[in-house]
């Protein structure tokens, strides 16, 4: 708090609290208000909005009785209710935050400060304290790891709170500090850490440490992310650690990243805003003109009327009074309730999404979830979808399929055969061919996977502890922690006793338990099939190894190696243990344990596109550098003397693999001499000690070192398409949505996948924009334009990342023109930043965009688009956290947009327009009445009516409109073009608004004019006692007519009548009659006794009937005529459904057009029957709407059954026809089963890597290795 | 666990699967409704017009025939027999009882019998608050306000020759008004005090005057002939004590005698409105029918679906 100037370098002294005094303490505050500041801050926030300011001004003016048309309560009541409601909401939210903060702030931690151990509350922790953390505890602030319970100074952490990744990561203390693992030693520690001022970069921690503050000669040791434990991180599988706190409170990485999310405005919100401004202007003009008329009448006429008793001299402000009266009278034109109504409706839309069982993934038991509850309408307005490929269109479950070793391609017998079952490969392994062994050695060693040993017994124990285990979001108390540690120790001892593999290491064996994130919890059922690998060891006892991987590709590779007999069993900080389980010529099967020293890992990044490990075999002391990476990266790093034939062969194989849609990787190795190693390590150390520009220096050194490899071979991994992806894309496209694919993958695999998933038809014309320089790109674009001009056909575009960058920078307008005319655009080899640039390019054209992805590399794109959808995938939860909606499968996007989006838009459009309509209608009556009252600004209705009209009788009945549907869900699927209604904004645009406005003015005028004619001097007298027409009577008759009119308007606009609609619409009318009779019998009300008289007067009923019929007649005529003779698509489909249903006919509503028959007919030929569930038929209802629910639905809903039966029959027929065709053309059967596989080099193998994709600078900090010196 | 969640979610409301009907405007329902409704409205209108026709109304303007402050007599002759009850009204034109300044200038609690303080009166009764503008509670007008102050004060007596007809001036106001809305204060205001504008708050002409009219031309009930009748051809006279000035605001004063029917007085508008509306409905219905017969559109055919 006492920081005077901006910090440039933070110097943290251990055990010297005085010198760290200027840094803030560790009090975490997420709350916005204190109890004393709640009211002012909250009110200030609420009055920041224009609408609220407007209402406040109006309400304040109401207090001036001279101008208030009605009782001020009528506006203060609803206004304060609205304010109270939102104040309560934010108050409760804040109370919750307070509670969480308090819990977090009052945790007790054991720290060492000024050489003294003590227990302090989390909020009192200071910079420079040495903190003791036990297993499963959450770090209270950003720490630099000094030592851990492990002698090598390592520990495991889970960073889910920080970046959403649930896998365990290792952190390693520096060699110098790792010995300080007791209180006594640490209280003598006088180190100094120099680091940057607080910053939000969670993958960057460039700083250095000095062991002794006083020793000026001593070198600084460099620190990196590898030594940090940030706030919010959980310590796992490590008994304890000591760490020095460097950033505290809200200056931690977590604190700096806690920016409030930018609130999104939907298109309708913006339209409402514009409309409000327009109405405000109309209001202003009305106020001016009516005010002028009023003043004119007053001076010309009013002064003559003795009964008005106008004084001769007036106060100066009198000229303002009439305009102000009108301002208040027609201020209701901007409906005060619309915001509240919309807020309630929108949260219900979000709940409908959360509740929807048809978006429930029964395999993983995850439903859809709306993180952002206020933008559902935008889901109905999407024109462009930007999709990621891996994990979004594909499953992201990797399977090792083929490989090519030393020029020999394995598993190439036919399309689906796996190399692992290729007898030639088995033979090669048996013969211990050196290249093959090295190849698999590379597979097994060159990764960041952590193998976890689990015995059956442990598994049960671990599983049972799930329920008590903390989930990510829970806070753990210290008491709970100690319990857990006990359990962990139990495991340890058990493990020691019956551990049959002799590890041969003095280090304590770290038994990794499963990580207990929410995700694993959900998926634990599937663990057996997914991650586990069974191994039989010598004693025949079963032992399982789970590979904890951050990338499924790596997992597939390690598993493949293990299947071939080279099993990766254990990772310690610098030792990797393999078990060779190979056939020996003499003794049959033979198990050999081999250990390798991991000298250095040169991590994967998206820029490097390669990864290598520097390995020393313990025993033989041979040093190897293994590399794997993208083909172009590896090919250019090969030994120039590599055999041309081998090179050619491998290149061919890789190309073949890619053509089959497989993800390819190349592998190489070289031996490293001791001298070379020494030089490399020295260079590495110098580079690593720099604070600025360390990344660049390191990259230079790596580049120099990673050369002259011997080619080992290539692997090909299959990534399956998610189910229903082609159908989903087809339907989305029929809905008029353009779908682009943005992937980091290479051209050939992207093309394969886009063909497989219907993005590009098999005979589609594909243009590729190429060129590494601006001129070339420009030329290419020009050429494409020429071709398009000649061909005049639909075309598809391919752009690579580099070309894209150039085109975006200098040829944007041309690129845009080319892209928006293309049927689809596929961008390959793109970085996350490029993805978001592409989205922004389209967004800037005022098109509504949606981005969908599953990985961290999609986060920027998801945040850029109008709507971000995250797929709950295997790559952590980053995308989901950044997204507005999360779903678990790509196919659910269809329902999210076509059903929820369209309905939300349809409903909101009505509710908004209706709210404005009824407000304007009411004001028109008030204005016209003033023509008969000398423009005096009188209100026709009494205060009670004004209040109840807005607050009750028109506010509540529309709520059930949010269950309204113009066509039923099934029919939207069958006729995806209906989506155009919402995406083109047909329910809410200038035209519809204009008609609503006309309707309001017409009906308001009719109501008032007819009332005036009916109740004019000669015409009216009350038949029972002859009394004349007084104001109370007319206004009550008028109000009844108005409410009837509104009720019938609502009834006319409701298209989907459920029981509740009836109840609420007619119920509120009955409620009106009852409540007005009640008010009628209370003498305090203005309308005391008036209602009895009104209701017993036949003129009242005749007037109401007349007014209603005259007011609604043109509306009904227009509606009838348009639905009959100029019907919209929705009208027709609705009509058809109703017609067929009422006649008991089967509903064949899927439209037929000249070009295509059934919309699904095209889907069938490219799919084998086995692709469509049990009965072998693609069933749009079952498959798009979820499985089990359909069964339930089917029983009860005859309509669904009808549709289903009908489509089934139709499809069965088609299907049989096609079968007969395919049987005759058996040669042509290749299209019958298209297996979709994918290669992708936007893989994120390494635990540190997927992180680096997101730090905004392209370089990453994950190069640092754990080992500084040898 | 997930099963439980799903069960709780499986309600029809949450799944948006409530059973529903989807009414549409189709010829089969719209055309008959219009025709039937048209006929119904015409019939209603005709009945209305016929019954209104039986109403006999006599209207006589008198402000142009009488000097202010004088007594004068207006004679009239019923065009046919007027059976009781015969309602007797006075009518004012160009009188904006609904003017905001006028409507607001009253205090209902005072009229309900409470003694008003000056502060309350100042707020509610502006500009007729207290005698000589004195700011004392005791000087507040009883009752205060413009409406009271400008009360219609002509006295009207209906005579047949010299015989005063039995026009009842009681029981003409709303019962509820006299019973609970208007109460005399305790003590009753002194009729001679200059602050007293109305000495009896339950006086029925006053109560009727206090019920402001909605439109600038209005009638207020003055008396009712409950027994007997006004005979055709006979000369009746109304004796007027002409006090109320209307010329200053270009107003007119008239006397009206009328009989009633089940829909009230001589209501010409409603009947013709019903007949016209009925005819319009019928004609449009007919038009729709012709269009539907000559060039119908089959329902539920795909050929009308045009796809983009």
pLDDT of A479 > 50? The answer is no
Task: Look at residue A528 in the predicted model and tell me its pLDDT.
Answer: 38
Most confident of A687-691, B42-46, B169-173, B176-180: B42-46
Q: How many CA atoms lie within 13 A of A927 on its CB side?
A: 27
A1138 contacts in chain B (CB < 8 Å)? 22, 24
Q: Please choose, from the candidates A688, A709, A698, the residue with its C-alpha nearest in 3D space to the C-alpha of residue A624.
A: A709
- DSSP percent split of chain B into helix, strand, coil, nearest 5: 35, 20, 45
pLDDT of A570 > 90? The answer is no
Q: State which H helix or E strand residue A392 sits in.
A: none
- Residue A309 has its nearest CB partner, among B127, B280, B291, at B127
B89 contacts in chain A (CB < 8 Å)? 1021, 1028
CB contact under 8 A, A1035 and B214: yes
Assess B304–A contact: CB distance below 8 Å, yes or no. yes
pLDDT of A413 > 80? The answer is no
Task: Look at residue A1201 in the predicted model and tell me its pLDDT.
Answer: 47
Q: Which residues contact A125 (CB under 8 A, 6 or more apart)?
A: A25, A26, A109, A111, A131, A140, A141, A245, A248
CB contact under 8 A, B98 and A1026: no
Write out residues 77-136 of B within 8 Å (CB-CB) of A. 85, 87, 89, 91, 93, 95-103, 123, 127-128
ipTM of the predicted structure? 0.95
Task: Look at residue B93 in the predicted model and tell me its pLDDT.
Answer: 92
CB contact under 8 A, A309 and B208: no
CB contact under 8 A, B211 and A1032: yes
**What percent of chain A has pLDDT above 70?**
79
Task: Look at residue A575 in the predicted model and tell me its pLDDT.
Answer: 84
Q: Per mean pLDDT, which range of A258-272, A777-791, A1128-1142 is the poorest?
A: A258-272
A963 contacts in chain B (CB < 8 Å)? 13, 16, 18
Assess A544–B contact: CB distance below 8 Å, yes or no. no
What confidence tier does A201 reach under pLDDT thresholds 50, 70, 90? confident
Among A297, A300, A307, A925, pick the best mutation site for testing chain B contact (most B Cβ within 10 A): A307
Task: Specify which residues A885 forms β-bridges with.
Answer: A370, A869
pLDDT digits 0-9 by tens, A700-755: 888 888 888 888 889 888 878 888 888 889 889 889 999 999 987 777 778 878 88
CB contact under 8 A, B149 and A1135: no
Task: Specify which residues A668 forms β-bridges with.
Answer: A627, A711
Name the more confident of A597 and A479: A597
pLDDT of A166 > 70? The answer is no
- Residue B96 has its nearest CB partner, among A934, A1016, A1027, at A934
Task: Look at residue A1202 in the predicted model and tell me its pLDDT.
Answer: 46
Mean pLDDT of chain A: 77
Q: Please choose, from the candidates A405, A446, A444, A443, the residue with its C-alpha nearest in 3D space to the C-alpha of residue A427.
A: A405
Q: Please report the sign of the dihedral spanned by the C-alpha atoms of residue A477, residue A478, residue A483, residue A485.
A: positive
Q: Please choose, from the candidates B158, B174, B162, the residue with its C-alpha nearest in 3D space to the C-alpha of residue B229.
A: B158
Once rounded to an integer, what is the mean pLDDT over residues B161-173? 88
Name the more confident of A1242 and A435: A435
Once rounded to an integer, what is the mean pLDDT over residues A163-171? 66
Once rounded to an integer, what is the mean pLDDT over residues B35-56? 94
CB contact under 8 A, A1103 and B13: no
Alpha helices by DSSP H, listed for chain B, are: 2-9, 27-53, 100-103, 108-111, 118-125, 146-149, 175-176, 204-210, 268-294
CB contact under 8 A, B262 and A1057: no
pLDDT of A416 > 80? The answer is no
A1010 contacts in chain B (CB < 8 Å)? 273
- Residue B218 has its nearest CB partner, among A965, A980, A1028, at A1028
Instruction: Give whole-number Cα distances, B4 to B1, B7, B8, B9, B11, in Å.
Output: 5, 5, 6, 9, 12
pLDDT digits 0-9 by tens, A1058-1092: 999 999 999 999 999 999 988 888 877 777 888 88
Assess B212–A contact: CB distance below 8 Å, yes or no. yes
CB contact under 8 A, A357 and B9: yes
CB contact under 8 A, A1189 and B27: no
Q: Is the peptide bond before B143 cis (omega within 30 degrees of 0)?
A: yes
CB contact under 8 A, A306 and B91: no
pLDDT of A950 > 60? The answer is yes
Strands A168-172 and A192-195: unpaired
What confidence tier does A1269 reach under pLDDT thresholds 50, 70, 90? very low
Name the more confident of A1085 and A1190: A1085
Once rounded to an integer, what is the mean pLDDT over residues B250-276? 91
Provide the annotated active-site residues of A.
388
A:B CB pairs within 8 Å: 272
Among A1021, A1199, A1200, pick the best mutation site for testing chain B contact (most B Cβ within 10 A): A1021
Among B22, B28, B46, B207, pick the best mutation site for testing chain A contact (most A Cβ within 10 A): B22
CB contact under 8 A, B304 and A302: no
Note the pTM of the prediction, 2 decimals.
Answer: 0.76
What confidence tier does A165 reach under pLDDT thresholds 50, 70, 90? low
Contact A657, A402 (CB under 8 A): yes
- In angstroms, the CA A180 to CA A170 distance is 19
- Residue A1135 has its nearest CB partner, among B37, B172, B300, at B300
pLDDT of A559 > 80? The answer is yes
Write out residues 185-204 of B within 8 Å (CB-CB) of A. none
pLDDT digits 0-9 by tens, A378-407: 999 999 999 988 788 888 778 888 888 888
Once rounded to an integer, what is the mean pLDDT over residues B258-284? 92
- Here the tokens at position B38 are 């048209």
Q: Other C-beta atoms within 10 Å of A5: how many?
A: 5
- Residue A938 has its nearest CB partner, among B98, B213, B217, at B98
Write out residues 5-24 of B within 8 Å (CB-CB) of A. 5-6, 9-10, 13-24
pLDDT of A1243 > 70? The answer is no
Q: Please report the sign of the dihedral spanned by the C-alpha atoms of residue A1191, residue A1196, residue A1200, residue A1201.
A: positive
Q: Per mean pLDDT, which range of A281-285, A659-663, A840-844, B89-93 is the poorest?
A: A659-663
DSSP A56-86: HHHHHHHT-TTT-SS-THHHHHHHHHHHHHH
CB contact under 8 A, A1018 and B10: no
Q: How far is B103 from chain A (nearest CA, A)?
A: 9
B288 contacts in chain A (CB < 8 Å)? 1120
pLDDT of A820 > 80? The answer is yes
Among A327, A526, A1012, A1028, pick the best mutation site for testing chain B contact (most B Cβ within 10 A): A1028
A906 contacts in chain B (CB < 8 Å)? none
Once rounded to an integer, what is the mean pLDDT over residues A579-585? 70
CB contact under 8 A, A1127 and B304: yes
Task: Look at residue A221 in the predicted model and tell me its pLDDT.
Answer: 81
What confidence tier does A154 reach under pLDDT thresholds 50, 70, 90? confident
| A1052 burial level (CB within 10 Å; 0-12, 13-18, 19+) | middle
Name the more confident of A1151 and A846: A846
Assess A1059–B contact: CB distance below 8 Å, yes or no. yes
Name the more confident of A533 and A1090: A1090
Once rounded to an integer, what is the mean pLDDT over residues A546-558? 78
Contact A192, A210 (CB under 8 A): yes
Assess A1096–B contact: CB distance below 8 Å, yes or no. no
B274 contacts in chain A (CB < 8 Å)? 1102, 1106
pLDDT digits 0-9 by tens, A829-846: 888 888 888 999 999 999
pLDDT digits 0-9 by tens, A1013-1031: 998 877 788 888 888 888 8
Task: Specify which residues A548 forms β-bridges with.
Answer: A450
| Three-state secondary structure call for residue B148 | helix
Task: Look at residue A1176 in the predicted model and tell me its pLDDT.
Answer: 33
Nearest chain B residue to A350 by CA distance is: B14
CB contact under 8 A, B101 and A1017: no
- Residue A932 has its nearest CB partner, among B89, B98, B245, at B98
pLDDT of A1261 > 80? The answer is no
Write out residues 733-792 of A within 8 Å (CB-CB) of B. 736
Task: Look at residue A531 in the predicted model and tell me its pLDDT.
Answer: 40
Q: In what order do the strands lie in the sheet with A142-148?
A: A116-121, A108-113, A130-134, A240-247, A142-148, A228-229
pLDDT of A66 > 60? The answer is yes
**What percent of chain B has pLDDT above 90?**
44
Task: Look at residue A1157 in the predicted model and tell me its pLDDT.
Answer: 35
Once rounded to an integer, what is the mean pLDDT over residues A337-349? 85
Once rounded to an integer, what is the mean pLDDT over residues A593-614? 82
Q: Which residue has the tokens 């310590």?
A: A235
């Amino acid at each position: 708090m006492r920081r005077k100037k901006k910090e440039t370098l933070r110097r943290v002294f251990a055990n010297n609290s005085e010198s760290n005094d200027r840094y803030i303490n560790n009090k975490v505050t997420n709350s916005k208000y204190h109890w004393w500041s709640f009211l002012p801050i909250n009110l200030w926030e609420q009055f920041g909005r224009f609408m609220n300011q407007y209402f406040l001004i109006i309400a304040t003016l109401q207090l001036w009785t001279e101008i208030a048309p009605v009782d001020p309560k009528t506006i203060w009541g609803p206004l304060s209710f609205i304010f109270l409601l939102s104040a309560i909401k934010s108050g409760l939210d804040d109370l919750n935050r307070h509670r969480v903060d308090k819990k977090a702030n009052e945790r007790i931690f054991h720290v060492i400060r000024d050489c003294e151990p003590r227990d302090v509350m989390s909020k009192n922790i200071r910079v420079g304290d040495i903190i003791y953390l036990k297993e499963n505890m959450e770090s209270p602030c950003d720490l630099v790891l000094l030592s851990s319970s492990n002698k090598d100074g390592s520990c495991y952490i889970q960073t889910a709170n920080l970046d959403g990744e649930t896998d365990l990561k290792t952190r390693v203390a520096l060699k110098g500090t790792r010995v300080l693992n007791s209180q006594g030693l640490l209280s003598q520690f006088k180190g100094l850490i120099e680091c940057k001022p607080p910053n939000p970069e969670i993958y960057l921690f460039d700083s250095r440490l000095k062991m002794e503050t006083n020793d000026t000669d001593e070198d600084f040791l460099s620190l990196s992310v590898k030594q940090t434990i940030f706030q919010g991180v959980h310590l796992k599988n490590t008994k304890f650690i000591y760490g020095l706190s460097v950033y505290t409170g809200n200056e931690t990485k977590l604190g700096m990243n806690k920016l409030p999310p930018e609130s999104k405005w939907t298109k309708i919100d913006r339209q409402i805003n514009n409309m409000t401004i327009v109405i405000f202007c109309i209001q202003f003009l009305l106020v001016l003109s009516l005010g002028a008329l009023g003043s004119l009448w007053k001076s010309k006429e009013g002064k003559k009327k003795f009964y008005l008793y106008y004084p001769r001299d007036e106060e100066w402000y009198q000229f303002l009074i009439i305009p102000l009266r009108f301002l208040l009278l027609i201020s209701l034109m901007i409906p005060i309730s619309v915001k509240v109504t919309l807020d309630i409706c929108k949260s219900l839309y979000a709940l409908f999404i959360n509740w929807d069982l048809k978006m429930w993934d029964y395999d993983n038991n995850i439903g859809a979830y709306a993180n952002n509850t206020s933008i559902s309408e935008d889901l109905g307005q999407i024109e462009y979808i930007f999709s990621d490929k891996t994990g979004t269109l594909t499953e992201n479950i990797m399977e090792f399929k083929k490989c090519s070793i030393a020029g020999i391609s394995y598993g190439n017998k036919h399309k689906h055969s796996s190399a692992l079952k290729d007898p030639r490969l088995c033979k090669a392994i048996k013969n211990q061919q050196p290249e093959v062994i090295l190849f698999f050695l590379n597979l097994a060693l060159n990764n960041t996977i952590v193998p976890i040993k689990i015995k059956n017994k442990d598994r049960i124990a671990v599983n049972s502890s799930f329920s008590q285990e903390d989930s990510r979001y829970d806070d753990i108390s210290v008491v709970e922690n100690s319990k857990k540690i006990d359990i962990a120790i139990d495991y340890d001892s058990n493990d020691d006793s019956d551990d049959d593999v002799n590890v041969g290491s003095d280090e304590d064996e770290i038994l990794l338990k499963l990580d207990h994130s929410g995700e694993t919890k959900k998926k634990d059922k599937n663990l057996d099939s997914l991650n586990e690998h069974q191994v039989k060891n010598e004693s025949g006892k079963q032992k399982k190894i789970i590979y904890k991987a951050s990338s499924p590709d790596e997992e597939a590779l390690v598993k493949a190696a293990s299947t071939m007999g080279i099993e990766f069993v254990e990772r310690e900080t610098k030792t990797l243990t393999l078990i060779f389980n190979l056939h020996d010529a003499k003794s049959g099967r033979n198990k050999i344990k081999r250990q390798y020293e991991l000298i250095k890992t040169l991590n994967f990044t998206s820029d490097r596109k390669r990864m290598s490990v520097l390995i020393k075999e313990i025993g033989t002391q041979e040093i190897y550098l293994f590399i794997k990476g993208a083909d172009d990266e590896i090919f250019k790093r090969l030994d120039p003397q590599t055999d041309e034939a081998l090179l050619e062969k491998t290149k061919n194989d890789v190309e073949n693999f890619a053509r089959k849609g497989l993800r390819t990787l190349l592998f190489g190795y070289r031996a490293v001499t001791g001298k070379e190693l020494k030089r490399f390590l020295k260079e590495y150390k110098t580079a690593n000690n720099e604070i600025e520009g360390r990344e660049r220096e390191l990259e230079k050194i790596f580049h120099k070192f990673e050369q002259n490899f011997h080619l080992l071979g290539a692997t090909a991994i299959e990534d399956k398409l998610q189910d229903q992806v082609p159908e989903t894309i087809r339907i989305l496209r029929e809905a008029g949505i353009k779908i682009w694919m943005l992937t980091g993958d290479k051209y050939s695999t992207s093309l394969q996948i886009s063909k497989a998933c219907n993005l590009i038809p098999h005979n589609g014309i594909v243009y590729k924009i190429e060129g590494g320089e601006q001129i070339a790109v420009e030329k290419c674009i020009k050429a494409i334009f020429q071709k398009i001009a000649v061909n005049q056909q639909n075309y598809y575009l391919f752009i690579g990342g580099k070309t894209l960058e150039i085109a975006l920078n200098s040829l944007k307008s041309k690129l845009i023109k080319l892209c928006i005319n293309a049927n689809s655009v596929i961008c390959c080899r793109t970085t996350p930043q490029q993805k978001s640039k592409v989205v922004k390019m389209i967004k800037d054209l005022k098109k509504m965009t949606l981005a969908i992805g599953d990985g961290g590399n999609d986060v920027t794109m998801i945040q850029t688009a109008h709507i971000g959808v995250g797929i709950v995938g295997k790559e952590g939860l980053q995308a989901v956290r950044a997204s507005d909606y999360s779903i678990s499968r790509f196919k659910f996007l269809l329902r999210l947009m076509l059903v929820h989006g369209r309905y939300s838009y349809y409903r909101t459009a009505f509710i908004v327009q209706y709210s404005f309509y009824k407000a304007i209608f009411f004001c028109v009556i008030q204005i016209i009445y003033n023509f008969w009252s000398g423009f005096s600004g009188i209100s026709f209705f009494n205060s009670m009516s004004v209040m109840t009209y807005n607050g009750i009788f028109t506010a509540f009945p529309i709520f059930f409109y949010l269950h309204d549907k113009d066509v039923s869900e099934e029919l939207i699927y069958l006729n995806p073009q209906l989506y155009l209604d919402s995406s083109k904004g047909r329910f809410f645009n200038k035209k519809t608004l204009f008609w609503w406005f006309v309707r309001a003015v017409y009906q308001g005028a009719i109501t008032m004019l007819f009332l005036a004619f009916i109740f004019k001097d000669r015409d009216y007298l009350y038949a029972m006692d002859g009394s004349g027409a007084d104001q109370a009577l007319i206004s009550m008759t008028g109000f009844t007519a108005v409410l009837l009119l509104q009720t019938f308007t609502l009834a006319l606009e409701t298209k989907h009548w459920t029981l509740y609609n009836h109840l609420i619409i007619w119920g509120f009318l009955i409620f009106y009659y009852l409540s007005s009779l009640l008010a009628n019998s209370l003498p305090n009300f203005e309308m005391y006794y008036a209602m009895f008289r009104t209701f017993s007067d036949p003129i009242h009923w005749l007037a109401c009937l007349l007014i209603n019929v005259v007011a609604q007649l043109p509306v009904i005529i227009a509606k009838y005529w348009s639905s009959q003779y100029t019907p919209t698509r929705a009208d027709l489909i609705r009509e058809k459904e109703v017609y067929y249903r009422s006649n008991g006919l089967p509903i064949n509503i899927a439209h037929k057009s000249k070009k295509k028959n059934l919309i699904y007919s095209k889907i069938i030929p490219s799919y084998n029957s086995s692709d469509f569930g049990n009965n072998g038929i693609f069933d749009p209802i079952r498959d798009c709407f979820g499985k089990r629910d359909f069964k339930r639905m089917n029983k009860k809903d005859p309509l669904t059954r009808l549709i289903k039966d009908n489509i089934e029959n139709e499809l069965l027929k088609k299907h049989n026809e096609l079968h007969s065709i395919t049987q005759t053309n058996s040669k042509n059967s290749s299209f019958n089963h298209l297996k979709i596989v994918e290669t992708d080099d936007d893989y994120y193998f390494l635990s540190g890597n997927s992180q680096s994709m997101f730090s905004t600078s392209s370089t990453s900090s994950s190069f640092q290795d754990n080992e500084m010196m040898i | 666990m997930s099963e439980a969640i799903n069960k709780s979610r499986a309600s029809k409301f949450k799944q948006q699967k409530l059973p529903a009907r989807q009414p549409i405007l189709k010829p089969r329902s719209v055309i008959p409704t219009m025709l039937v409704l048209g006929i119904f409205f015409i019939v209603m209108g005709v009945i209305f017009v016929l019954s209104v026709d039986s109403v006999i109304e006599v209207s006589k303007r008198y402000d142009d025939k009488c000097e202010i402050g004088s007594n004068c007599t207006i004679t009239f002759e019923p065009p046919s027999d007027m059976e009781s009850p015969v309602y007797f009204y006075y009518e004012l034109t160009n009188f904006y009882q609904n003017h905001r300044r006028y409507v607001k200038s009253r205090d209902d609690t005072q009229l309900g019998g409470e003694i008003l303080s000056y502060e309350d009166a100042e707020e509610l009764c502006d500009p007729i608050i207290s005698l000589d503008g004195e700011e004392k509670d005791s000087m507040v007008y009883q009752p205060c306000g413009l409406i009271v102050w400008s009360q219609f004060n002509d006295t009207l007596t209906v005579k047949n020759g010299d015989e005063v007809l039995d026009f009842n001036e009681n029981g003409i106001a709303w019962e509820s008004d006299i019973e609970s809305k208007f109460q005399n204060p305790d003590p009753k205001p002194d009729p001679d005090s200059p602050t007293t504008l109305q000495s009896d708050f339950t006086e029925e002409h006053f109560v009727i005057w206090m019920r402001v009219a909605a439109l600038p031309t209005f009638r207020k009930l003055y008396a009712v002939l409950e027994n007997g009748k006004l005979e055709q051809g006979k000369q009746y006279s109304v004796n007027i004590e002409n006090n109320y000035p209307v010329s200053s605001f270009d107003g007119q004063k008239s006397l009206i005698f009328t009989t009633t029917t089940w829909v009230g007085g001589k209501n010409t508008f409603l009947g013709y409105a019903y007949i016209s509306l009925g005819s319009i409905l019928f004609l449009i219905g007919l038009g729709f029918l012709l269009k539907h017969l000559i060039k119908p559109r089959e329902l539920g055919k795909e050929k009308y679906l045009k796809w983009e």
